[in-house]
Amino acid sequence: MTATRSYRERATYIEQSPRSRAILEQANRYLPDGVTRGTGWEPYPLFWDRGKGCHIWDVDNVERLDFFGNNSSLPLGHAHPAVVKALEERLAMGVSFHAPHESHVRLARIICERIKSVEMVRFTNSGTEATMNCIHVARAFTDRSKIAKVDGAYHGLYDAVAFDGSTDPDRPVPVPNLPAIPRSMMDEIVILPFNDAVAAREIVHEHRDELAAVIVEPLMGAAGFIQAEKEYLDTLREVTAQNGIVLVFDEVCSLRAGPGAGQGLFDVYPDLTALGKSVGGGTPLGAFGGKREIMELYSSRENERHVGHSGSFNGNPLSMVSGAVTFEELTPEVYERLDRLTERLREGIRAVCGEFEIPVQVTGLGALFGVHFNDRLIRSALEARSNDVERRQQVFLGLMNEGIWTSPSLNGAVSTPMGEGEVDAYLTALRAVLARNS
């Protein structure tokens, strides 16, 4: 692989996207970096125009297969007829009321019925707010302030959790990943290594009297959909229960992984769960919930530990109906079909890379997958950081040029409008990219 070949992917990409480039020039005047979330990519991001099913078009009218689905938020793909119908009906009847609405009950019931550990739930507007509220209520419930999070896990960019670990794999030291984080927050965070049950138990035990919560993802999204090991989650469940610490599962991504989210697949149940992305069926929504005794801190104003929870658009009926309709489409049979399809894709990626003798690790659970150009098994963010990043960038741009859209880090999701044809199209595209770049 040479930089010249990498350059060729860039050249094709640039050639295909004159209108995106022109809009970006305008965008740079008004939006830092021309974008409104930190997800631009090199050489520059494309501007998307529209989506239908598993297809997506950019402003230059180039069509691609959408293997990203707004980072796992779109299990039914774009503009699913049932979602469009529900949204149109709701739109005509008003979209926000600052008051209870029957649609809250409908979606809350679905969540509580499907996700075993969630007895009561509250809605937010994003996954960030969902994890933030879990931390909030865990602090009130335990009357402690420290939070333990996993190195490389992303829960939103706010003071309590915007930390990763230093490179010491067993005892990571917190390092803020934003310059804006007050230094005092360093005293409130403990970093755990992922999938190292022995070290995690020791660290939690060491801080047991100060920890309000341990927050962990059953499938670590930002680091590349790396699965937790069951033993690791079992250990965290045990050590938190023994020490009165609230165990929070961030299932913002892993909600997509199975009918009962990640916890159902691992058969390990937290005290609180944060949901986001697919919970709103493609509209902005987050939710958090869990044990009744914790969630009831939101109930009684007489309770001295009463916790406030607000948000002008919490439970807006548009997101409620979109979420409910999406869940209703996702029957156990649909999850099974998505699992099979995604396994075909994972196996296929390994086989195609094998044809070119390119080391690869394909991670993920259910409909979610991550591709890592690495010759060692990926069990943590630390291991994922040793990716061949040049190869990754080249494959990302190459797939774009071949009509496949995944995340720049090669995370992806399979959606219900896809079948074997789409999975095989991904594999054909990958083979073409590797053939011209090996």
Report the catalytic residues: 154, 250, 277
Binding residues among 257-286 for ligand PLP as defined by CB under 6 A: 276, 286
- Residue 89 to residue 136: CA distance in whole angstroms: 36
Q: Does 156 bind ligand PLP (CB under 6 A)?
A: yes
- Residue 329 to residue 279: CA distance in whole angstroms: 12
- Residue 265 to residue 335: CA distance in whole angstroms: 12
- Cβ neighbours around 37 below 10 Å, total: 7
Q: Which amino acid is at 149?
A: K
Chain position carrying tokens 């991904």: 426
From the list 43-51, 76-84, 110-118, 250-258, the region that binds ligand PLP by CB under 6 A is: 250-258
Q: Does 162 bind ligand PLP (CB under 6 A)?
A: no
From the list 95-103, 215-223, 240-248, 264-272, the region that binds ligand PLP by CB under 6 A is: 215-223
Q: Which sign, positive or negative, has the C-alpha torsion 110, 116, 117, 119?
A: positive
Q: Angle formed by the axes of helices 317-329 and 102-114, to 10°?
A: 40
Q: Does 235 bind ligand PLP (CB under 6 A)?
A: no
Chain position carrying tokens 């099913």: 53
Q: Does 363 bind ligand PLP (CB under 6 A)?
A: no
Contact pick of 66, 250, 271, 422 for ligand PLP (by CB under 6 A) = 250
Kindly state the smallest distance separating residue 212's Cβ from ligand PLP, in Å: 18
Kindly state the smallest distance separating residue 180's Cβ from ligand PLP, in Å: 17
From the list 6-14, 122-130, 183-191, 407-415, the region that binds ligand PLP by CB under 6 A is: 122-130
Considering the complex, state which of residue 20 and residue 254 has its C-beta at the smaller distance from ligand PLP: 254
Contact pick of 253, 330, 341, 404 for ligand PLP (by CB under 6 A) = 253
Q: Does 71 bind ligand PLP (CB under 6 A)?
A: yes
Q: Which sign, positive or negative, has the C-alpha torsion 386, 391, 394, 398?
A: negative
Contact pick of 221, 264, 348, 364 for ligand PLP (by CB under 6 A) = 221
Going from the C-alpha of 300 to that of each of 124, 130, 388, the distances in angstroms are 20, 20, 53
From the list 150-158, 181-189, 264-272, 315-323, the region that binds ligand PLP by CB under 6 A is: 150-158
Binding residues among 76-115 for ligand PLP as defined by CB under 6 A: none
Q: Which spans in 3-101 are helix H?
A: 3-15, 18-30, 69-72, 81-91
Number of residues that bind ligand PLP (CB under 6 A): 16
- 345, 344, 407, 410: which is closest to 372 by C-alpha? 410
- 395, 389, 402: which is closest to 438 by C-alpha? 395
Which spans of this chain sit near ligand PLP (rule: CB under 6 A)? 71, 126-128, 131, 154-156, 217, 221-222, 250, 252-253, 276, 286
